[in-house]
Amino acid sequence: MPRSKIAGIGKYVPERVVTNQDLTQYMDTDDQWILERTGIKERRYAHRTEETTTTMAVEAAKIAIERAGTTAQEIDFIVFATLSPDYYFPGCGVMLQRAMKMKEVGALDVRNQCSGFLYAISVADQFIKSGMYKNILVVGSEKHSFGLDFSTRGRNISVIFGDGAGAVVLQPTEKTDQGILSTHLHSDGESAEILAMYNPGTHANHWGEKNYADFDEAPIAQMFMSHKMIDKAQNFPFMDGQSVFKKAVVKFPEVIMEALLANGYQSTDLNMLIPHQANLRISQFVQQKLKLTEDQVYNNIQQYGNTTAASVPIALCEAWEKGKIKEGDLVCLAAFGSGFTWASALLKW
């Protein structure tokens, strides 16, 4: 059975840099709070009308495809991870297929938030191993800036997120010392409401108090999106940051060790860990817990904030572009986020 390898990788971040200081125009926050609690100095925001989740994905994908030595027409499957799609439906996979003038290939959308790219790469890996596809484009892209509450009410969430896209092309390899060694996926829906965007949705407050939504009078059924909901800002994401933090610092090391042990490695064998860029403090905690050096963990949340499904491929791409990942290196990708879902992938570059 062939393994899959990352044959090409690309990233795209919008030009517009938004500093912590810039955000103080809209909300009661300050550079020191954001820097100390998250490590973030600045993030990128997409152009309001010229850029979407799909257009950013296209830019990252073009680079990945070129570096893989292939063409958009030769891609035989698309896996697209995002929580900020251009449309509620259809998903961004088909938008990407159209924008890149690809053949009528399958396009799958993954809704696993911060772990989205890891889930996407795991799915693509299985398709390559089974022999079904040979040239899969896997993308993570987010345009968070369009859906955040920029008033003080939303500051615990809004200061964290940024926009951007990352993409890889997976191809089969016959080499025994190269490629994706294993992927590990987990979920625990008990905490679904702790980091979530409840509305618009079909929940109709079924799941309890947290799923708050004020509906307008509707003759037949309650409404998916209402004026009241918008007036009360119930259409923005919710996060209990401390609960997420506490779970993340347990599950990150656990899933990284799971990947290492499954392949007979120790944490000291790792050349590079690419953690989802959720919070610099989380990454530093994981680094200490696994007794890794600073050189073994790549972080760029300082420049880009948390780009959810895009954060792992952006960081992986940047680390590789800077020469921090070389052929034969043992690399672990890991993520934790809304759901909760968490995942890892271990690969030989």
Minimum CB distance to ligand UT7, residue 119 (Å): 14
In the bound state with ligand UT7, the residue whose beta carbon lies nearer, of 211 and 306, is 306
Active-site residue, selected from the candidate residues 114, 235, 299, 300: 114
Nearest to 162 by CA among 60, 86, 63, 53: 53
Restricting to residues 139-158, which ones interact with ligand UT7 according to CB under 6 A?
A: 155-156
DSSP 306: B
In the bound state with ligand UT7, the residue whose beta carbon lies nearer, of 3 and 144, is 144
* Residue the block writes with tokens 């037949």: 220
Give the residue, chosen from 16, 17, 18, 29, that forms a contact with ligand UT7 under the rule CB under 6 A.
29
Distance in angstroms (rounded) separating the CA atoms of residues 132 and 134: 7
Q: For residue 333, which phi and psi values (nearest 5 degrees)?
A: -105, 135
For residue 340, whether the previous peptide bond is cis, meaning omega lies within 30 degrees of 0, is yes
In the bound state with ligand UT7, the residue whose beta carbon lies nearer, of 4 and 163, is 163
For ligand UT7 (CB under 6 A), the number of binding residues is 20
Give the residue, chosen from 124, 194, 278, 330, that forms a contact with ligand UT7 under the rule CB under 6 A.
278
Distance in angstroms (rounded) separating the CA atoms of residues 88 and 327: 40
In the bound state with ligand UT7, the residue whose beta carbon lies nearer, of 145 and 306, is 306
β-pair partners for 138 = 79, 168
Beta carbons of 34 and 20 less than 8 angstroms apart: yes
Task: Reply yes or no on whether 299 is catalytic.
Answer: no
Minimum CB distance to ligand UT7, residue 224 (Å): 25
β-pair partners for 167 = 10, 139
Task: Reply yes or no on whether 317 is catalytic.
Answer: no
Q: Is 207 in the site for ligand UT7 (CB under 6 A)?
A: no
* Residue the block writes with tokens 């790792």: 270
Restricting to residues 235-264, which ones interact with ligand UT7 according to CB under 6 A?
A: 241-242, 244-245, 248
Rounded alpha-carbon distances, angstroms, from residue 66 to 175, 228, 236, 323: 22, 48, 37, 19
Minimum CB distance to ligand UT7, residue 12 (Å): 20
Give the residue, chosen from 18, 22, 37, 41, that forms a contact with ligand UT7 under the rule CB under 6 A.
37
Minimum CB distance to ligand UT7, residue 251 (Å): 11
User: Which residues, in sequence order, are CB contacts of 333 under 8 Å at separation 6+?
Assistant: 117, 118, 121, 274, 312, 316, 344, 345, 347
Task: Reply yes or no on whether 306 is catalytic.
Answer: yes
Q: Is 171 in the site for ligand UT7 (CB under 6 A)?
A: no
Write out the E strands in the chain: 3-12, 16-19, 42-45, 77-81, 106-110, 136-142, 164-173, 179-187, 195-196, 238-239, 272-275, 330-337, 341-348
Active-site residue, selected from the candidate residues 135, 199, 235, 306: 306
Q: Is 115 in the site for ligand UT7 (CB under 6 A)?
A: no
Q: Is 200 in the site for ligand UT7 (CB under 6 A)?
A: no
In the bound state with ligand UT7, the residue whose beta carbon lies nearer, of 38 and 112, is 38
DSSP 16: E
The residues annotated with a catalytic role in the active site are 114, 276, 306
Contact residues toward ligand UT7 (CB under 6 A) are 29, 33-34, 37-38, 114, 155-156, 159, 195, 241-242, 244-245, 248, 278-279, 282, 306, 337
